[in-house]
Amino acid sequence: MAETQLDVRALDKTDAYRALRVQFDALCEGVTDEIALMSTMACVLQLGFGHLWTGFYRRVGAAKLIVGPFQGTIGCLEIEFGKGVCGTAAAHKETLIVPDVNAFPGHIACDARSRSEIVVPVLDRGGELIAVLDIDSERLAAFDEVDRRELESWVRWFAKVT
Ligand code: SME
């Protein structure tokens, strides 16, 4: 059984992602249920990094996102494609790193403490958008190219099972 909580605070960011990934892969080996995977991924990342909010918005219908498994404070329940950081990342199917959310036109402030954000599209094996992974931080410019590279790799899990 994998450890329930890894302390990665002493590691650099790449090593922290790698250590958490080993834990996630061990926990989820053989798991194909999308919700179980989203829940566990949100939990492992949130416990590891301690950000304000880590979770998924799932696509419903043609152009709407609805909140999925998450850890953190209460988030908004629905987001239309093209709205906010999540809706913009969903509409373009590309990762968005926002170093200062107050400088992002249309940012949806679910928690006033949020200062920066990364949103990564989650695609199925056919390249269709099934969700976005959203992580919000209380720190300005908390996310960089390491987060993009690692999180894009993490969400490729879903292309294997959907
Ligand atoms: N800030 C996001 C909304 C989601 S929450 O913050 C949990 C956005 O602008 O899309």
117 lines ligand 1 (CB under 6 A): yes
Total-model pTM: 0.95
Report residue 7 as tokens: 């302390």
Q: So what's the pLDDT on residue 3? A: 53
Which fold is adopted by the domain 51-161?
Beta-Lactamase (3.30.450)
Report residue 138 as tokens: 């209380």
Pocket test for ligand 1, best of 46, 77, 100, 134 (most atoms within 8 A of CB): 134
Report residue 141 as tokens: 């410019």
Q: So what's the pLDDT on residue 1? A: 47
Number of neighbouring beta carbons within 10 Å of residue 110: 21
Phi, psi torsion values for 68, nearest 5 degrees: -120, -155
Name the percent of the chain lying above pLDDT 70: 98
Q: What is the mean pLDDT of residues 100-109?
A: 92
Phi, psi torsion values for 28, nearest 5 degrees: -105, 10
Rounded Cα distance, 54 and 74, in Å:
11
Q: So what's the pLDDT on residue 86? A: 98
